[in-house]
Amino acid sequence: MKTQACIIGAGPAGLLLGHLLRAEGIECVVLERKTGDYVLGRIRAGVLEKITVDLMNRLGLDGRMKEEGLPHDGFNLADGDRLIRIDMGDLVGEQVMVYGQTELTRDLMEACDERDLAVIYEAGDVALHDIESDAPYVTYSKDGSDHRIDADMIIGCDGFHGPSRKAIPDTVGKHFERVYPFGWLGILADVPPCNHELIYANHERGFALASMRSATRSRYYIDVPLTDKVENWSDDQVWDELAIRLGPEAAAHITRGPSIEKSIAPLRSYIFAPMRHGRLMLCGDSAHIVPPTGAKGLNLAASDVYYAADALIAFFRKQDNNAIVGYSDRALARVWKSERFSWSLTKLMHRFPEDGAFERAMQVAELDYIANSRAAQISIAENYVGLPV
């Protein structure tokens, strides 16, 4: 098979990029090692920045999001009994959209046939070849047969453990990483949220987050040691801990119910640079991971896709090789700023094992400063809604 662009990974980043390229008449094929049902079954992010919403609007695939999504003008930081509301609408004139990643992925998947975006699921043993040449290609296996795709460009949207980043030589790439000493125990339940906006809480017992996927489905988190196991936590224990950490105001409005998903996710900050080598470009988790504090993961992937689509369209339409060459620097400039925000919010809202009285006093002072400074709130709001692309 011969195509202009071969995209590896059919998560939201890969599908979003594929649709953007097909909208410009560029030939592309998407490879995915899992089934479509598996991709849809992954429980992930639910807060969408303006860039993500705008790209869905650009594609004309935002109809269901407009009907079912929850626009938010603000969010809250909690410290003990106090809620510090960050009014994004007033501070920076923007809002975010609460709409589950699963639903966004579904919208992208269901449009593939109509928009002639080819997706090959259950593609095993994916390998990249000759990425430093002008004729790269990808091999994979499916249904007991080996296959090859010749492409002008390969785009890796295949996550942290995929083969794309590993195809870049160690002599070229550099890794930057911070592994955190805790994970987030998440519970998903079909109950109304305790607050109409998100609450990030810093409590002496640890971090908590009250979030939602819809008006009837809630997503809550608490931080736990990395050594903890999900089977050690009953639903009742999680609800009890949430009621303590979120504070009395939120606790009074918590509706308890059986979990439909419960898991522990480790936290890390990670960047791989450069995000392009030869005819290979990286997008999303294949190049960077952010802690979920600040809701940047999916949105950072979307901004990568924005830059990648811009570069690829210039490359295929105008034979502009400089657009491809400049992709990594453009993407990384925003990646580093988003990583900084996620890292700083994680540091502010969590109790680290090595922290003592001084570090705790700094958190208290910072939260008090934020509560009483419009300038500080503007900075947080600007980063939360998403920096300009």
For 222, list phi and psi in degrees, rounded to 5.
Answer: -135, 150
Label residue 122 exposed, middle or buried (CB < 10 Å: 0-12, 13-18, 19+).
middle
Query: Cα 158–293–257 angle (5° rounding)?
Result: 95
Structure-token pair, residue 315:
């490359």
Residue of 19, 50, 72, 347 marked active site: 72
Nearest partner of 30 among 132, 126, 172, 171, judged by Cα: 126
Residue of 137, 220, 306, 384 marked active site: 384
Rounded CA gap, 265 and 98, in Å?
Answer: 20
Rounded CA gap, 10 and 106, in Å?
Answer: 11
- Quick check: is 384 catalytic? yes
Residue of 203, 296, 347, 350 marked active site: 296
Structure-token pair, residue 230:
């999900």
Query: Cα 251–253–255 angle (5° rounding)?
Result: 95
Radius of gyration of the chain (CA): 21
- Quick check: is 296 catalytic? yes
- Quick check: is 72 catalytic? yes
Nearest partner of 40 among 89, 96, 90, 104, judged by Cα: 104
Q: Annotate 349-386 with DSSP letters as a single string.
A: HS--TT--HHHHHHHHHHHHHHHH-HHHHHHHHHHHH-
Rounded CA gap, 304 and 282, in Å?
Answer: 8
Residue of 137, 163, 292, 306 marked active site: 292
Residue of 137, 140, 180, 200 marked active site: 200
The H or E element spanning position 260 is strand 259-273
The H or E element spanning position 266 is strand 259-273
68-84 exposure pattern, b = at least 16 Cβ within 10 A, e = fewer: ebbebbbbbbbbeeebb
Report, as residue numbers or ranges, the catalytic residues: 72, 200, 292, 296, 384
